[in-house]
């Protein structure tokens, strides 16, 4: 297993009010990724994920489509900071409050 140290995502488009966070959580857990996801006040969805690099790329690929009703325009990615990684538990994908 090749792991990644943590990736921060900002997902833009029609991604709130369509079940995107719950869908993203299921997709990440199905690929044994850990992290968190939340809505942002600017109508984007923010996530931090870590795990197998191939699984991370796979979830990024499906995240461009999202659930029914979503229309993803863009996913910005960068390495996650230590603060963003704090509290992540292996095997868990938390839905956090809006930030």
Task: Write out the catalytic residue numbers.
Answer: 21, 39
Output phi, psi for 48, to 5 deg. Answer: -125, 125
Q: How many Å from the N-terminal Cα to the C-terminal Cα in the chain? A: 32
Can you say whether residue 8 is alpha, beta or left, with left for phi > 0 and alpha for psi between -120 and 50 degrees? beta
Tokens for 81, please give them.
């900071």
């Amino acid at each position: 297993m090749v792991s990644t140290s943590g990736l921060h995502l900002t997902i833009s488009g029609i991604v709130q009010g369509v079940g995107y966070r719950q869908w993203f959580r299921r997709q990440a857990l199905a690929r044994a990724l850990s992290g968190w996801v939340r809505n942002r006040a600017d109508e984007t969805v923010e996530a931090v994920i870590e795990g197998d690099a191939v699984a991370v790329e796979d979830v990024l690929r499906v995240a461009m489509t999202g659930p029914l009703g979503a229309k993803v325009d863009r996913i910005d990615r960068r390495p996650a900071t230590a603060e963003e990684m704090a509290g992540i538990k292996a095997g868990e994908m938390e839905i956090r409050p809006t930030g």
